[in-house]
Amino acid sequence: MTDLVDVLAPVICDQEPYCKGLAGTGCSSAPPCFAIIQTRAILTALEKSGYRVVPVEPTEAMLTAGYVGGPDDDAPIHELEAHWATLSPEDIWPAMLAAAPKITTGG
């Protein structure tokens, strides 16, 4: 996954009058510009508040994680169906979140 700081910082930078012009070339990460610092703070605050930023479409790893603990993929279909019938969103969602791409905030 693209580092969200690299995606969000230029957008934040573009909104700040003192930062104009940096968005086109990218904010400097050494030392970090204020937009990078703001972006890292926002992402950290979201995580501490119990939110996760995840892809709109789940990755293959996320989908696979939803079926952890079941029979092997080459098990008879009735065993797979029986396992799938026992799954609930409360089981699947945490596994998918755990398998989601991690946000790197750098610094």
* Tens of pLDDT, residues 9-30: 888 877 777 665 554 555 655 5
DSSP annotation of 101 reads P
**What pLDDT score does 1 carry?**
37
> Taking the model in full, what pTM does it have?
0.60
* Tens of pLDDT, residues 35-84: 888 888 998 899 899 888 888 888 888 877 776 656 566 677 777 777 77
Q: What is the mean pLDDT of residues 94-106?
A: 76
